[in-house]
With several copies, the nearest count.
Chain A
């Protein structure tokens, strides 16, 4: 299984993050300094090796799961049966 995190690049304005930040403050949570909101994807896929899986996920992330103009991605892999 791959867990992919897609986040807005730092330079890109993140209104959702700001809104969550404000709501948290309004709810009385103090000490919140910065919130960014992105996407989280879980993909279950078949692959022979970790390397193969990683290559696949890389490519999926680049070609579909993220938009390189505005987003970065990161992922982690773990084995499931």
Chain B
């Protein structure tokens, strides 16, 4: 049947694969794998599944570099989300995903459906979602469009997350001109479940039923994945079908109904419908299980009449789930969904053989091998070439700039620059407390979420590095992993796994691919040394507008485990008189620093390198210090260097500090230089000797540089004073600028 169709249409579909984003060579591969020409429905199925977004054709070979195993890993990349054992019979489940292009054309709905999508990936595995995080990049908020995007994206993330009742506990927001036309919206979700509840996205068991639940299918988002696999252009604004409207209410009901079905063991396999819709869900579940499917498209509940089979198969309508169910469990499943007034429809069944056969009005409209559609796309080894800017920018020496005249002014400047300023304007729009498990919400190095079942807690953080990866992709990749894991360590949690979202330009351009490849190599190296596995992630290529690419931006979501929820640590100075210590190596640089960007308007120079062995020692030491309750506060040193971190610890604790730096210090470098593997601690005097001893044993530098007290940050050096700022002036600079900018 399918064959006859394809012959009939052979003439008409003349190179139509090109319009669907397939290359001639790829089309030839399809014909080869299928043993005949595909008919138009089949070609549509192939084209969405072989898009970059679904097939990872330009990234697959690089992603193999990531270490994906550890004694804790239960499920690495390849399923909807990674699963890591956290003891007591429980597992943490997490993943991050991009929704960049939809957010560029409809910021509210683009971001909202991004959150809805990543949420489904978590409960699809059987896990109760417990936290959202997000990583955002925009153009400078100095114009209406920039503010419009920021406002819409933040409202959309809150709109969805708040409504489904999962707290949004952390994230990051950065601004660079390169993100002006192509903002980045990466959403992460973390869940927890009893290990025995794990279900996979597999269509196993011949004779089992294939069931579709949730929203009706409409014309929205048809070919959304193709849209995500192209550069943005004028045309994108008109690409209406690629944008969907989220329905968080339905989303919330689907979570509850799905988890109840999983708990009652009524389902054999669960798969969410996301990119490439039904086509992806059907072919992936069948291909993972090595089975076939027979599906009756007439059964799919439609929102409007007249959808063509290919439209039903590729629609990305939100809030839909696919279940594989043993026939005797169908009525149990129906009871649950009826209670929540959610539609549930049997579409077909699992068969022997590996063909996905689609019926429509009594005829076979598509008959394709699941593995070929889901996994047969070519893996490219694109050419990479070092871009011209690279050497030129690295050769810039920031120390050639004149010394700063007034470091106090500069610190205020930095505190009120959009990258560093308090993001409370953003997170106060997120319900970060719902579920009453948030022990530390947004604003710290990582968020801490308690686990009611075990008395343990998870620390979660998300960090990306655009500017530094631009200046040195290999280093930037390492730094992203190091910073995210260090952030959870600062709360006292041991990093147990990461998920990553790789936001890059067009991989078919050698410079962009070189950035990608080097960044992945750096991340992989950092994961190896730090012994944290990558258990899942997402790649977003083609982040370009009119040939201008974004900074290569790897974003890392880290999850850490705290054995005792009662013992976690925050960044704020707590006790008058506590000693303040600087932990970690001395090496810093102004290359790629915020100082250079904010004060001198330059993005250049060599960032400080990282000694991953030292990073590991620092992180392990931080965990030990917090676990033993020896420190009052811990805060990671990152953007803006020592001065900014000290100011943040002062503001977070509502206390001043008096700092005395060693004599030989170059003030600009000491105050504002940036480097990895460092943290500011404060601790009671009585613990001082023990902490120094532990640092020595660990082989980590630790210097006492001052004490907590007063109502100002006072930084001196050998009798001279670098700067002195009152808490209230710092707070004003830090806290008010964002709301002012956005109003």
Q: What residue of chain B has the Cβ atom nearest to residue A27's Cβ?
A: B144
- The listed residue (A11, A26, A68, A69) touching B304 by CB distance below 8 A is A11
CB distance from A38 to the nearest CB of B (A): 12
Q: How many A-B residue pairs have CB under 8 A?
A: 46
State the CA gap A27–B240 with chains docked (Å): 25
Q: Are A13 and B244 in contact (CB under 8 A)?
A: yes
The verdict on A69 contacting B105 (CB below 8 Å), with A12-B245, A14-B245, A22-B341 known, is yes
Q: CB-CB < 8 A to A22: which residues of B?
A: 341
- Residue B660 at the chain A interface, CB threshold 8 Å: no
The verdict on A9 contacting B240 (CB below 8 Å), with A22-B341, A70-B106, A70-B109 known, is yes
Describe A's contact surface by its main secondary structure.
loop
Q: What does the 1/0 interface line of B211-224 toward A look like (CB < 8 Å)?
A: 00001001110000
The verdict on A11 contacting B219 (CB below 8 Å), with A69-B105, A69-B240, A69-B243 known, is yes
Q: CB-CB < 8 A to B304: which residues of A?
A: 10-11
- The listed residue (B215, B219, B243, B303) touching A70 by CB distance below 8 A is B243
Q: Are A13 and B240 in contact (CB under 8 A)?
A: no
Q: 9 closest Cβ contacts across the A-B interface?
A: A15-B247, A11-B219, A69-B106, A13-B245, A69-B105, A69-B243, A12-B245, A13-B218, A69-B240
CB distance from A40 to the nearest CB of B (A): 17
- The listed residue (B105, B109, B220, B237) touching A11 by CB distance below 8 A is B220
Q: What does the 1/0 interface line of B241-256 toward A look like (CB < 8 Å)?
A: 1011111011000000
CB distance from B302 to the nearest CB of A (A): 12
The verdict on A26 contacting B144 (CB below 8 Å), with A13-B318, A67-B106 known, is yes
Interface positions of B (Cβ within 8 A of A): 105-106, 109, 144, 215, 218-220, 237, 239-241, 243-247, 249-250, 303-304, 317-318, 341
Q: CB-CB < 8 A to A13: which residues of B?
A: 215, 218, 220, 244-245, 247, 303, 317-318
Q: What residue of chain B has the Cβ atom nearest to residue A23's Cβ?
A: B144
CB distance from B287 to the nearest CB of A (A): 29
Q: CB-CB < 8 A to B239: which residues of A?
A: 69
State the CA gap A67–B249 with chains docked (Å): 21
State the CA gap A24–B701 with chains docked (Å): 57
Q: CB-CB < 8 A to B317: which residues of A?
A: 13
The verdict on A11 contacting B250 (CB below 8 Å), with A22-B341, A70-B106, A70-B240 known, is no
Having A18-B247, A70-B240, A70-B245, one finds 10 other A-B pairs with CB under 8 Å, namely: A8-B245, A11-B219, A13-B215, A13-B218, A13-B220, A13-B303, A15-B246, A68-B237, A69-B237, A69-B243
Q: CB-CB < 8 A to A69: which residues of B?
A: 105-106, 237, 239-240, 243
Describe B's contact surface by its main secondary structure.
loop
CB distance from A57 to the nearest CB of B (A): 20
The verdict on A11 contacting B218 (CB below 8 Å), with A22-B341, A69-B237 known, is yes
State the CA gap A18–B216 with chains docked (Å): 11
State the CA gap A14–B318 with chains docked (Å): 12
Q: Which residues 1-60 in A have Cβ within 8 Å of B in the complex?
A: 8-15, 18-19, 22, 26-27
Q: CB-CB < 8 A to B250: which residues of A?
A: 15
Q: CB-CB < 8 A to B218: which residues of A?
A: 11-13
Q: What residue of chain B has the Cβ atom nearest to residue A14's Cβ?
A: B245
State the CA gap A8–B244 with chains docked (Å): 11
Q: What residue of chain A has the Cβ atom nearest to residue B218's Cβ?
A: A13
Q: CB-CB < 8 A to A70: which residues of B?
A: 106, 109, 240, 243, 245
State the CA gap A80–B303 with chains docked (Å): 20
Q: CB-CB < 8 A to A68: which residues of B?
A: 237
Q: What residue of chain A has the Cβ atom nearest to residue B246's Cβ?
A: A15
Q: CB-CB < 8 A to B241: which residues of A?
A: 11
CB distance from B320 to the nearest CB of A (A): 11
State the CA gap A14–B247 with chains docked (Å): 8
Q: CB-CB < 8 A to B247: which residues of A?
A: 13, 15, 18
Q: What residue of chain A has the Cβ atom nearest to residue B743's Cβ?
A: A22
State the CA gap A27–B237 with chains docked (Å): 20
State the CA gap A67–B219 with chains docked (Å): 18
Q: Which of A8, A13, A14 has the most CB of B within 10 A?
A: A13
State the CA gap A19–B239 with chains docked (Å): 27
Q: Mind listing 18 A-B residue pairs with CB under 8 Å?
A: A11-B219, A12-B220, A12-B244, A12-B245, A13-B244, A13-B245, A13-B247, A13-B303, A15-B250, A18-B247, A67-B106, A68-B237, A69-B105, A69-B240, A69-B243, A70-B109, A70-B240, A70-B243
State the CA gap A80–B246 with chains docked (Å): 29
CB distance from A13 to the nearest CB of B (A): 5
CB distance from B113 to the nearest CB of A (A): 10
State the CA gap A22–B341 with chains docked (Å): 10
State the CA gap A26–B742 with chains docked (Å): 13
